[in-house]
């Protein structure tokens, strides 16, 4: 036994050591790689970020240099602080505070002393820089917007947040990333690929030399330029029209699904989010919860679409064969059910067929059609789902799949929705007749409405709306070049389109005709409410308009939405006509409409709910007249 004690100890120590080695090196050490090795400094070389052009090749976004004064505290030698502070436009206490901050960060490592020098300051400073040991100027690249429009489309770049870093290990703290607009959706294309140098450092964090003679280093890969589908002229014009109003304009090319204009009002100059004042301005924009300029109303605002949705019900009615173009329904200032008036209607001739129903926007006509669709099937569930699927085939009720990062699903209810509301099978067609006229549970975003119109203009199909036109040398995603068909047969579109044409000819948009252009459209009005001090209060209706033109061989489909604009043709319709003429003709003949829109503001209207005073809405309001605003469109 005595002989074995030491032998046993030796063997057991051997086993314990092996176990510890396995734990340290195989279990714990398995994940170590060059990037996580803190004995290796990673120095990144950032490539040029790609430019953004409009569809006609106009440069919208480029880069500009920005200069930061850097400090390495250990290398600073006594200097003329007064002169230096004057050059940097800071005072001495600030200088000392910054120096201390840099020193506390690390005496040996570079630290940003003053960021975003102006070009003028840089020019002066550059010549004197050699006098100040321990300071140097570092060039960075910032975005430069060559335009004052399109802030919501172009977006901006900013420093990555913790979530970006966690989700994508490409980014490290301090990197820039696209935050909104095309900067965000085409981030990977625009940014390129940064180069990396691995540098061996010692325990004092000093560089010793390239790691393995730079064997693993990579060169940066420049970002690619992109061309977007926006027509800068049309976009600028749309933003001009939207001045002093809130809402959105979406113009699409129905032949391709390209987004020609994407206007959200109120807007802002994208240049204010560049450089030294970025965070100040961003906070200001972001905290403006009343005008909400960072909220893209053409993509994110979800409203009841109102009357434009009626054309969908007409199409579904024809497809399901429960109505033909000649059948007439009577309308006695509304739709009655069991002697009770379910929906009112304005005064027009009665009875009405489909054509009149559309251009007069008759509520009773569409409630009849809608009920027939639902009641065609043995159960309301089947009827509801059939209706819902038809509507959804127009790209409504779900994300469209466009290449911008924000959006809403909208809502097209189905049987499950009502089962949840009323209980299974405890509802019937009369429970939700509001859907017939685009109110009730139906909701859509402006871009969904524009796309719906594009599908009608194409007589039954659409391309997924998109903002990308060209990436140098790369084909755009196939999903933007593949047509998506609706569930409505082609022949059913003509009568409905004729109805929309007659809206301009003799209907609700009679006054908005543009000589020489055959426009098809549909007005809409949507009631809306807010809570003021806990009381549900009705505000002036939203003004909605959808249109496409020309009637045959359409080139533009458009949806306009103006908050609290009252009725459809009052604001939205005029703007739609103007946009169409601007795009198709290049200049405006209906200058009367243009002047009216530019000189009328809705700011009064928007101030009402916050005034704390009782106010009047709709017909009892007076419009505010303002001088003609300007932007780069005029």
Partner 1 sequence: MRQTDRHYKFDWLTIILFFILVGFGWLNILSATYGGETIEYFNLSNLYSKQLIFIAFSFVLIVFILSINGKFYERFSSIIYLASLLLLAGLFVFGKNINGATSWYPIGSFTLQPGEFAKVATALAVAKYVSDLNTDIKKFNDQLKTFAIIAIPALLVLLQPDAGSALVYGAFFFVLYREGLPHIYLIVGALLIALSIFSLKFGITSTLLITATLVALYYFTRKKRPSILQPITVLILSTVLAFGVRFFYSKILPEHQKDRITVWLSLENDPAKLEKMKKTVAYNLNESEKAISSGGFKGKGFLEGTRTTGNFVPEQETDYIFSTVGEEWGFVGSFFTVLVFLLLIIRILILAERQKTQFSRMYGYAVGSILFLHFMINIGMVMGLIPTIGIPLPFFSYGGSGLWGFTILVFIFIKLDSNRINEW
Where along the sequence are the contacts to partner 1 (CB under 8 A)?
2-3, 5-7, 9-11, 13-14, 16-18, 20-22, 24-26, 28-30, 32, 37, 39-40, 200-203, 208-209, 211-212
Q: How far, in Å, CA of 560 to CA of 575, rounded?
A: 7
37 or 472: whose CB is closer to partner 1?
Answer: 37
Residue 52's φ and ψ, nearest 5 degrees, are -120, 125
> From the CB of 278, what's the least distance to partner 1, in Å?
36
**Pick 6 or 535: Cβ nearer partner 1:** 6
Alpha helix (H) residue ranges in 354-492: 354-359, 363-375, 380-392, 415-422, 446-457
Taking the complex as a whole, the smallest distance from the CB of residue 172 to partner 1 amounts, in Å, to 19
List the one residue out of 463, 500, 464 whose CA is nearest residue 576. 500
For the sheet containing 40-45, what is the strand order? 40-45, 195-201, 207-210
Min separation Cβ 40 and partner 1, Å: 6
Torsion angle of C-alpha atoms 424, 425, 427, 432, degrees rounded to 10? 80
Give the nearest distance from C-beta 39 to partner 1 in angstroms.
Answer: 4
Q: Tell the burial category of 314 from Cβ atoms under 10 Å away from its Cβ (0-12, 13-18, 19+).
A: buried
Closer Cβ to partner 1, 213 or 533, answer by number:
213
Distance of alpha carbon 447 from alpha carbon 32, whole angstroms: 48
Please state, in angstroms and rounded to a whole number, the distance separating the CA atoms of residues 486 and 454. 11
Closest approach of partner 1 to the CB of residue 26, in Å: 5
Q: How far is the CB of 178 from partner 1 (least distance, A)?
A: 34
Which of residues 200 and 599 has its CB atom nearest to partner 1 in the complex? 200
Measured from the CB atom, the residue of 7 and 535 that comes closer to partner 1 is 7
CB of 5 to partner 1, least distance (A): 6
CA angle (444, 607, 547) in 5-degree steps: 30
Closer residue to partner 1 (CB): 18 or 330: 18
Say how far apart CA 51 and CA 57 lie, in whole Å: 11
User: What DSSP state is assigned to residue 47?
Assistant: P
CA dihedral 229, 232, 235, 237 (to 10 degrees): -150
* 3-class SS of residue 197: strand
Q: Which residue, 16 or 628, is less far from partner 1 as judged by CB?
A: 16
Nearer to partner 1 among residue 26 and residue 625 (C-beta):
26
Nearer to partner 1, 216 or 337 (CB): 216
Q: Minimal distance in Å, beta carbon 253 to partner 1? A: 56
Q: What is the largest CA-CA distance in the chain?
A: 118
In the complex, least distance from residue 175 CB atom to partner 1, rounded to whole angstroms: 24
> Shortest Cβ distance from residue 10 to partner 1 (Å)?
5
Between 206 and 506, CB nearer to partner 1: 206
Distance CA(26)–CA(13), nearest Å, equals 19
Q: Show contacts of 343-349: CB within 8 Å, 24+ apart.
A: 343/367, 343/433, 343/434, 343/436, 343/437
Determine phi and psi for 452, rounding to 5 degrees.
-60, -45
């998109």: which residue's tokens? 466
């Amino acid at each position: 036994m005595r002989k074995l004690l030491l032998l046993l100890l030796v063997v057991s120590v051997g086993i314990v050591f092996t176990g510890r080695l396995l734990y340290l090196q195989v279990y714990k050490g398995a994940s170590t790689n060059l990037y996580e090795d803190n004995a290796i400094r990673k120095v990144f070389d950032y490539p040029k970020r790609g430019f953004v052009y409009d569809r006609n090749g106009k440069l919208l976004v480029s880069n500009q240099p920005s200069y930061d004064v850097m400090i390495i505290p250990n290398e600073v030698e006594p200097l003329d602080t007064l002169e230096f502070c004057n050059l940097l436009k800071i005072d001495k206490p600030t200088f000392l505070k910054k120096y201390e901050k840099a020193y506390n960060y690390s005496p040996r490592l570079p630290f940003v002393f003053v960021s975003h020098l102006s070009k003028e300051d840089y020019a002066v400073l550059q010549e004197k820089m050699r006098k100040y040991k321990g300071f140097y100027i570092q060039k960075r690249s910032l975005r430069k917007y060559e335009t004052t429009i399109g802030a919501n489309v172009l977006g901006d770049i900013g420093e990555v947040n913790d979530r970006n870093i966690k989700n994508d290990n490409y980014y490290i703290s301090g990197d820039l990333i696209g935050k909104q607009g095309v900067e965000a959706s085409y981030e990977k294309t625009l940014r390129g690929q940064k180069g990396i140098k691995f540098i061996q450092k010692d325990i004092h964090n000093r560089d010793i030399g390239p790691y393995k003679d730079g064997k693993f280093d990579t060169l940066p890969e420049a970002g690619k330029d992109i061309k977007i589908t926006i027509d800068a002229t049309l976009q600028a014009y749309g933003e001009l029209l939207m001045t002093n109003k809130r809402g959105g304009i979406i113009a699409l090319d129905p032949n391709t699904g390209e987004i020609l204009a994407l206007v959200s009002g109120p807007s802002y100059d994208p240049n204010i989010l560049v450089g030294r004042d970025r965070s100040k301005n961003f906070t200001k924009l972001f905290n403006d919860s009343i005008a909400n300029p960072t909220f893209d109303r053409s993509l994110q605002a979800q409203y009841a679409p109102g009357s434009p949705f009626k054309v969908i019900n007409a199409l579904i009615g024809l497809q399901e064969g429960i109505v033909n173009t000649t059948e007439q329904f009577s309308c006695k200032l509304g739709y009655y059910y069991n002697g009770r008036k379910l929906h009112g209607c304005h005064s027009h001739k009665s009875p009405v067929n489909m054509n009149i129903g559309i251009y007069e926007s008759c509520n009773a006509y569409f409630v009849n059609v809608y009920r027939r669709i639902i009641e065609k099937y043995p159960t309301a569930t089947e009827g509801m789902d059939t209706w819902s699927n038809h509507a959804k085939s127009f790209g409504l009720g779900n994300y469209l799949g466009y290449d911008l990062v924000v959006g809403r699903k909208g809502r097209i209810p189905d049987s499950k929705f009502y089962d949840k509301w009323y209980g299974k099978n405890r509802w019937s067609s009369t429970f939700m007749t509001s859907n017939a006229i685009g109110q009730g549970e139906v909701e859509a975003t402006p871009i969904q409405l524009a796309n719906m119109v594009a599908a009608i203009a194409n007589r039954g199909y659409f391309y997924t709306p998109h903002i990308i036109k060209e990436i140098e040398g790369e084909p755009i995603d196939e999903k933007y070049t593949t047509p998506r068909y609706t569930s409505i047969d082609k022949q059913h579109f003509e009568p409905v389109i004729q109805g929309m044409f007659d809206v301009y000819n003799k209907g609700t948009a009679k006054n908005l005709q543009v000589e020489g252009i055959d426009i098809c459209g549909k007005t809409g009005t949507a009631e809306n409410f807010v809570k003021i001090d806990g009381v549900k209060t009705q505000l002036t209706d939203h003004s909605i308009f959808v249109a496409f033109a020309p009637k045959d061989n359409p080139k533009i489909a458009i949806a306009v939405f103006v908050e609290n604009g009252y009725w459809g043709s009052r604001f939205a319709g005029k703007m739609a006509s103007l946009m169409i003429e601007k795009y198709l003709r290049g200049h405006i003949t209906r200058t009367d409409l243009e002047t009216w829109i530019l000189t009328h503001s809705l700011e009064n209207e928007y101030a009402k709910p916050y005034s704390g005073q009782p106010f009047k809405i709709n017909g009892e309001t007076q419009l505010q007249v303002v001088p003609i605003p300007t932007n780069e469109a005029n």
